[in-house]
Amino acid sequence: MQVRLEQLTKAFESRKKDSVIAVNKLDLTIESGKLIGLLGPSGCGKSTTLFMVAGIHDVTDGKIYFDDRDVTELSADKRGIGLVFQNYALYPHLSVWDNIAFPLLNSKDMKKRLKKQFAEQHSNSPNYKAYINKLVEDAAKLVEITAYLDRKPGELSGGQQQRVAIARAIVKSPSILLMDEPLSNLDARLRIQTRDEIKRIQQQTGITTIMVTHDQEEALAISDEVIVLKDGLLQQQGAPQDVYDNPANQFVAEFISRSQINMVHGKIATNKLYLGQEEWFPLPAPLMDQEVTIGLRYENIKHAMENIERSFTASVTAKARIGGISTVQVRLADGQQITLLNDHDESLRESERLNLVVKPQSILVFNQKGEKILQC
Shorter beta-carbon distance to another protein: residue 83 or 132: 83
Which lies closer to another protein via its Cβ, residue 181 or residue 254? Answer: 181
Three-state DSSP class for 354? strand
CB-wise, 77 or 289, nearer to another protein?
77
CB of 236 to another protein, least distance (A): 29
Q: How far is the CB of 338 from another protein (least distance, A)?
A: 45
Label residues 54-70 b or e (16+ Cβ within 10 Å = b): bbebebbebebbbeeee
Angstrom distances, CA of residue 88 to CA of 99, 158, 163, 363: 11, 9, 9, 42
Chain residues binding another protein by CB under 8 A are: 54-56, 76-78, 81-83, 85-87, 89, 91-93, 102-103, 106-110, 168, 172
Nearer to another protein, 184 or 203 (CB): 184
Q: Select from 165, 36, 178 the least CA-distant residue to 103.
A: 165
| DSSP bridge pairs for 234 | 229
Q: What is the CA 322 to chain-centroid distance, rounded? A: 25
Residue 56 CB, shortest distance to another protein, in Å, is 6
| Least separation in angstroms between CB 52 and another protein | 13
Please state the closest distance from residue 130 (CB atom) to another protein, in A.
Answer: 22
Q: How far apart are CA 40 and CA 44, in angstroms?
A: 6
Q: Which is nearer to another protein, 89 or 374 (CB)?
A: 89
- Identify which of residues 171 and 243 has a Cβ nearer to another protein in the complex: 171
Distance CA(65)–CA(22), nearest Å, equals 20
Cβ atoms of 25 and 232 within 8 Å: the answer is no
Please report how close the Cβ of residue 89 comes to another protein at its closest, in angstroms. Answer: 4
- Phi then psi for residue 154, to 5 deg, are -60, -20
- Give 16 or 344: the residue with its C-beta nearer to another protein: 16
Least distance between another protein and beta carbon 94 (Å): 8
Measured CA to CA in angstroms, residue 297 lies from 225, 302, 336, 339 at distances of 22, 11, 15, 9
